[in-house]
Structure 1
Amino acid sequence: MSKIKEYLKAHPQIWLLAYWPVHGLWYSLLQQTTMGRDPYPIVCGLDYKIPFCEWFVIPYILWYVQLGLLGVYTFFKRPAKFFRFTVMVAGGAFVCMLICTFIPMYFDRAGMEAFPRENLLVEAVKLIRGIDPPTTVLPSMHVYVSVALHICLCKDEKLARYKLLKYSSLVLCLLISASTVLIKQHSIIDVFAAFALVPIMYCLAYVLKHQRLSKFFKAE
C-alpha cells in the first residue's frame, strides 16, 4: 500500500485518467437514451450537397490512433504536459457531453442513408453506423478532439521541432474533420460548433495559470 501511495505521489497525473472510463459509460448511456428523449434534428441544406466518400472512413478510424498515440506519449514521456493536455482534450470532450446531455440532438441523415456503391470501405462505414449512431453530435467530438490533439502536439516543444510530424498532424486533423461529413456521421453544423469550442478550451488549458492544480499535478 505504501508503494502505491508513493507511486501516486510521484505520478499524480495518473488521477487525470479517471475521466475516461466515466466518459465511456456516459457516452454509451447517451447513445442508448437520446432517441427516446425527443431530440432535436441537426441538418442543413449543405449536408445534402456534400457527397458521400467512403475513403474518408480511413481518417475517421485513424482518430482513435491519433488519440491513443499522443495520449500515451504525453502521459509517459511528457508528464509535465499531461495536465494541460487533459484540460484541452478531455475538458473539451466533457463540454461536448454536457451539451448533448442537456440538449439531446441527432444528425438527421434522412435522404442520405443510401450507399452509391458496395465495397470494403462502405462495409466499414456500415459497421461504424451500427456501433456509433448519430447522436451526441453537436459539437462533433471527433472534430474537436482531433483539433485539440494537433494543438497539444504543437505546444510540445520536442514534437513541434519535427516539421514533418507537425504538418502531418495538421493534414490528419483536416482529413478527420472532413471525414465526419463525408461519411455522413455529422452535419457540417457539428463541425463548426466544434471549431467554435476550440479557442474557449485553449484559453482554459494554455492561457490560465491553474497555479494550485499545476503544482499538484507537477505541470508546466
Structure 2
Amino acid sequence: MPVQKGKEVILLKKLIRKYGHVWMLSYAFIYIPWFTRLQENINKPYHVMHTALDDMIPFEEIFIVPYLMWFLYVAATLAFFFFRNRDDYYRLCTFLFTGMTISLLVCSLFPNGTDFRPAIDPDKNIFCYLVSRLWSIDPCINVFPSIHVYNSVGVHIAVCHSEELKKHPMIVRASGILMVLICLATMFLKQHSVIDVVGALLMASVIYPIAYAPEAEKKKKYETSF
C-alpha cells in the first residue's frame, strides 16, 4: 500500500511539473463572473457606439459562420500551445488576459453598446436562425473594445510567432484569413461598431510589445552573440 501511494505521489508531481501552467486558465474565474455581471446592465444607460460608416456596412448573416468559429479558433490555439510550447502559451495568455481585463474595466467605467441591430426573420435560413439565437443571449452592450477582434488578433500573432507553426505556412495563412473574417463578421453581423474594432486593434498594438517584445529582445541578443 505505501508503495502504491508513493507511485501516485510521484505521478502527481510529474503531472504538476508537466502541466502546472494550467493555473493561467484560472483567469476564467475572474473574467466570467465580471463579464456576466456587466451583461446584466442591459436596462441601464450606456454610451452608444455608432458612426456613419456603420450605416454603410450591410447586414450579412453568412458571417455568423466565422463569428462562431472564433470560439474554436481561440480554444484550439490555447490548447495547442498548452501541450506543445509553454513559453508561447504564457505569452498568448498574457496577451489575451491583459486585453480582456482592460476591456472589462472600460465597460465598467464607460458603459457602452450599439443601437443598429436590424430586425431579422429567424426562419429565413439557418444563418439568420443562428444570429437570432446569438442575439437572444448576447445583448448589444459591453462592445468597446471588441474582445472578438482583440482575441482573434492575439491568436494570429501567437501563430505567427510559433517556430513550430512557421514550418506549416498553410496553417499560418489560414489563421490570417480566419482572423480577418472574424473581424469583418463583428461588423457585418452588427455586433460591433467600427469604433469597437478600431479600439481593439489599437489595444492590441499597445499590448503586443508587452507580451512579445521580451521574446524578440532575447532572440536578438542570442543571434548577435555569435
Give the TM bin, normalised by the shorter chain: 0.7 to 0.9
- The one-character-per-residue Cα deviations of 1:111-146 (angstroms, maximum 9, x if unpaired) are x42237821100100000011112110000000000
> Could you say if the C-alpha distance between residues 101 and 2 of structure 1 is closer, same or farther in structure 2, counting changes exceeding 3 Å?
farther
Letter of the structure 2 residue corresponding to residue 127 of structure 1:
R
> Could you say if the C-alpha distance between residues 14 and 136 of structure 1 is closer, same or farther in structure 2, counting changes exceeding 3 Å?
same
1:14 to 2:19 alignment: no
Secondary structure of the corresponding residue to residue 113 of structure 2: strand
Q: Taking every aligned residue pair, what percent have the same amino acid on both sides?
A: 29
Give the match for residue 43 of structure 1: 50
Relative to the length of structure 2, the TM-score reads 0.85
Offset of 1:36 from its aligned partner?
A: 4.1
Give the match for residue 78 of structure 2: 71
Which of residues 97, 117, 120 is equivalent to 1:115? 120
Offset of 1:43 from its aligned partner?
A: 0.8
Whole-angstrom CA distance in 1 between matches of 2:73 and 2:59: 23
1:137 to 2:143 alignment: yes
Give the match for residue 224 of structure 2: none
1:55 to 2:89 alignment: no
> Could you say if the C-alpha distance between residues 76 and 10 of structure 1 is closer, same or farther in structure 2, counting changes exceeding 3 Å?
closer
Which of residues 16, 19, 23 is equivalent to 2:31? 23
Give the match for residue 190 of structure 1: 196
Whole-angstrom CA distance in 1 between matches of 2:127 and 2:167: 35
- The one-character-per-residue Cα deviations of 1:46-102 (angstroms, maximum 9, x if unpaired) are 111100000000000000010111011111111232111111122211111111111
Q: Is the 8 A contact 2:120 2:132 kept in 1?
A: no
Letter of the structure 2 residue corresponding to residue 11 of structure 1:
Y
Q: Is the 8 A contact 1:181 1:187 kept in 2?
A: yes
Secondary structure of the corresponding residue to residue 164 of structure 2: helix
1:170 to 2:176 alignment: yes
Report the structure number with the largest CA radius of gyration: 2
Secondary structure of the corresponding residue to residue 40 of structure 2: helix
| Map 1:205-216 → 2, pairs under 5 A | 205-208=211-214
Whole-angstrom CA distance in 2 between matches of 1:120 and 1:72: 30
Offset of 1:10 from its aligned partner?
A: 4.6
Give the match for residue 82 of structure 1: 89
Q: Is the 8 A contact 1:8 1:14 kept in 2?
A: no
Could you tell me which runs of 5 or more consecutive residues in structure 2 were left unpaired when the two chains were aligned.
1-7, 216-226
Structure with higher RCO (Cα < 8 A, 6+ apart): 1
Over the aligned positions, Cα root-mean-square deviation in angstroms equals 1.9
Letter of the structure 1 residue corresponding to residue 40 of structure 2:
Q
Whole-angstrom CA distance in 2 between matches of 1:162 and 1:11: 26
Whole-angstrom CA distance in 2 between matches of 1:161 and 1:9: 28
After alignment, is 113-122 or 54-63 more displaced?
A: 113-122
After alignment, is 97-106 or 54-63 more displaced?
A: 97-106
Whole-angstrom CA distance in 2 between matches of 1:194 and 1:145: 9
